[in-house]
Amino acid sequence: MSRAEVERLGHDSAPPRAWLMGLAAWLVPGLGHLLQGRWVRAVLLGGAVWICFLSGLAMGGHLFIMGGNEQGLSALLQLPPMIANLGSGVPYIISWFFGVGFADDPAHAALATFEYGNTFLLVAGLLNYLAMLDAFDIAAGRKA
C-alpha cells in the first residue's frame, strides 16, 4: 500500500508509545489507561478485569496452560482457553508462578462454582484484550 493510499484511508503506523501502552495495558489491567491519565477508564476497565479474575479464582476456576504432556488433540484443545487466560497478563503470570488455579483434580472440578470460575477467568482475559486495544488506540491518536 502506497503512502497516498495510507493517508487516504486515514491509517498510519502507530508510534512506539502506542505499542508500549498496549503492552502495559495487557501486563497490568488498567495500567495502560492510567499511564495516559485516563483515570476513569483505568478504574472501570482495570477494576472489571481484576474483579472478574479474582472472582474466578475465588469460585475455584481453572486456568489453562499447555504443559507439554498432553496427547494428540488434547494439546490443541488447551490452546484457545490458554490464549484467553493469558489476556489477563500479570495476574495469570503470578498465578502460574505460585501454582494457584492450575490444579487439575476431580475434587476441584466437583465444586459447584467450578464452571462459573472458569468462565470468569476466561472472560477476564478476553475483556483485558479489549482494554488493551482501547489503550493502544488512545495512544495512537485513533480515539479521543
Residues lying near other proteins in the complex (CB under 8 A): 41, 44-45, 47-49, 51-52, 55, 59, 113, 116, 119-120, 123, 127, 130-131, 133-134, 143
CB of 115 to other proteins, least distance (A): 10
For residue 121, give the nearest of 51, 30, 28 by alpha carbon: 51
CB of 120 to other proteins, least distance (A): 7
User: Of 56 and 101, which CB lies nearer to other proteins in the complex structure?
Assistant: 56
Other beta carbons within 10 Å of 83: 14
User: Of 24 and 134, which CB lies nearer to other proteins in the complex structure?
Assistant: 134
Burial of 81 from C-beta contacts in 10 A (0-12 / 13-18 / 19+): middle
Gap between the Cα atoms of 46 and 32, Å rounded: 9
CB of 41 to other proteins, least distance (A): 6
Question: Which single residue is written with the C-alpha cell 478504574?
Answer: 43
User: Of 86 and 138, which CB lies nearer to other proteins in the complex structure?
Assistant: 138
